[in-house]
Every structure is written in C-alpha cells, then in structure tokens.
Amino acid sequence: MIAPLLAGGIALLVSLFGTWWLTKYLAARGRSQPILVKNEANLVVPQHMHKSGTPTMGGIAIVVAALAGYLLSHIRRGVVFSDQTLVMWGGVLGMAAIGLIDDLIKVRTRHNRGVLWSRKGWITMGVAVAVATVLVATTEIDTRLSLTRADWPGIELGKVVFVIWASALIFATTNAVNVTDGLDGLAAGSALLGFTVFTGIGYLGFRNPSIYGDIVNPYDLTVFSASFAGACGGFLWFNAAPATIFMGDVGALAIGAALSLLAVTLDTHLLLALICGINVIEIGSVALQMVVFRASGRKKRLFRLSPIHHHFELAGWAETKVIIRFWLISAACVGGAMAIYIADFTKQSGG
C-alpha cells in the first residue's frame, strides 16, 4: 500500500502548491470565469454574481498533480506501469485538452459558453470511443458486464458492444461531472469521495487475485486512483466556498474521464452509477428539465433552474448548505457502493 499512499501524498502537495501558484498567475492575467447563469426565462442566480472575476482553469493543477503523483510513485521498486493505465492517461489528457480549449474560449469571449454544445459533445464522444477501442485492442480488459467483478453478472458483451458500452459510460460521466461543477467545491469534493472508494476497490482487487483475477494490474489502477484523490484534496483547499479558483472544464472533463475509466477497468461498470450518485442526480435533473420544458411547449419547468443545485439556491438555501448536503448525499452513495462491494467480497472469500 506504500505506492498508493506515496502517490496520493505527492499529488496532494503538488496540488496544494500548484493551485496556490496557479491562482495568483491566472488572477494577474485576468483569466477569470464569466458568470452568466440563466434559465429559459432568463432568471439569474444573484448569489453567484459576486464570483465574476474568480480565476478559472484550476483543473490544470489537478491533472498535473495527479500525473506527478502517479509517475513519482513508480520510482519504488516493483511498481510497474500497466498498459491499461497508460491508455487511461491518454483519455484523461485528451478530455483535459478539450476542456482547456473550451475554458480559453470562454475567457477570451467573456461568455460562459465555449465550444458549441453540439460540437463539444461530438468531440468528447470521439475521445471516449477512441479510448474504449484502444483498451479493447491493446489490453486484456474483460469485456463482460460487471457490478463488483467481471463474472457478476458476467454477461459477455463482445468487443464491439463493449466499446459502445464503455464509450457511453465515459461520455456520460465526463458530462455529468461537468454539470455538477456549478458550486464551490461540489465537484471536487464528490470526486474525492469517488476516487477514495476506487482506491479501496483497486487495493482489494490487488490483494485478492483469486476473486478479482480478471483485473489487469489492479495495483497500478490503485496508484492511479490515489493520485487523483490526493490531487482533488489539494485543490479543494482553494476551491471550497468561497472559492478562490474554479476548476473549469479542463478539470471537470479530466475527473469524469478518470472516474469512468476506473469503473471500466476495475470491473465495476454498474457500480459507477452509485459511486457517482450525485453526478447522476445533477445531470438527471437537467434531462428532466429539458423533457418537461419541451413537452409543455416551452411553458413549464420542473425545477426553478437546472442543474438541481441552482433550484435549491433559488428556493432560499445558502450555497454552503447546498454544497454540504450534496456532499452528504454523495457520501451516502459511495458508502452504499462500498457496502455492496464489501458484501460481495465477503461472500466470495467465504467470510
């Protein structure tokens, strides 16, 4: 367990100092986030207007810190790079690059819409398909549908269907985390919980090959997850309300890609919906809002404003109250996911 702890610790420190430096650097150059939160009726969230001018693109620190923690932890003898994790890094960096371009366009145009939504969706989907295809073509990833291990429920999807399934998971999760990133520390805090759970899952897989032998190099996946947990923790120091820096799309897309790829490679496909429970709620609220609004001929809305965290703000909840309560919901979801995993592990191990 030394390498994961080392990876997490290094990532935490790099993220702390990196975010501090990045905040000052971006603030000095006016790289701030435009605040234009409106719904279909042009209703603005007034609580957010004071955030105009806050530096964005802080997700750069998360990605750099996680990569530093991951790479430096491999200095230890016996810690080896796996094909799967290297492909995962390609996907994470690809998504981060898309988010960075989007953030730069937002800052330059002073508008909270960067790349056109339709174009951005196609680009992120293309990256998702490419990563899933490379995983299947170059690694020994298991192509069965899984909950806590490859043989449960163990439905063989085949390479083509698996690529489609994995691509959908990656695409949906990256967008869900992006949608969640609307309040100070909400996305980073919930992601920290998710990566912590995946670190535990990866380590259990490493220590119990007789049960989780279908996972390719679970120890390296554990190091990968621990690196992102540490990076999110360090970033949260500055991103917690009131935030002095926002992660931007560069951080949200990278985090979403990392979480989904861990689920794909650790054979916990179906468990991802619970581990990322708060993200599912957030993007689900956006989908429901669109369905109701369009079905009513653009006359009715299910929520005052979506994503749902804005609904509660407009209902009178303080931002910090929404964040803490959503963190608690996220903690309950990841706790439930871990309980399911441990229960199955206990059963399989004869405990």
Can you give the residue range of the structural domain that contains 282?
Answer: 2-349
Please tell me what DSSP assigns to residue 151: T
Number of domains in the chain: 1
Peptide bond into 34 cis (omega under 30): no
pLDDT in tens, 18-44: 999 999 999 988 767 665 544 444 455
C-alpha 154: how far from chain center: 26
pLDDT in tens, 223-260: 999 999 999 999 999 999 999 999 999 999 999 999 99
- Spatial neighbors of 59 by CB under 8 A, at least 6 apart, are 96, 99, 235, 247, 248, 249, 250, 251, 252, 254, 255
Strands, E assignment, the chain: 144-149, 152-156
Which residue type does 284 have? Answer: G
Q: Helices 83-109 and 248-265, interaxial angle, to 10°?
A: 160
Over pLDDT 70: what percentage of the chain? Answer: 91
pLDDT band with cut points at 50, 70 and 90 for residue 118:
low
Q: What is the pLDDT of residue 41?
A: 46
Q: What is the pLDDT of residue 47?
A: 59
| C-beta neighbour count of 320 within 10 angstroms | 14
- Mean pLDDT, range 122-140, rounded to an integer: 97
Give the least confident one: 39-48, 64-73, 141-150, 165-174.
Answer: 39-48
- Mean pLDDT, range 316-336, rounded to an integer: 97
pLDDT in tens, 166-217: 999 999 999 999 999 999 999 999 999 999 999 999 999 999 999 999 999 9
Over pLDDT 90: what percentage of the chain? Answer: 85
pLDDT band with cut points at 50, 70 and 90 for residue 1:
confident
pLDDT band with cut points at 50, 70 and 90 for residue 313:
very high
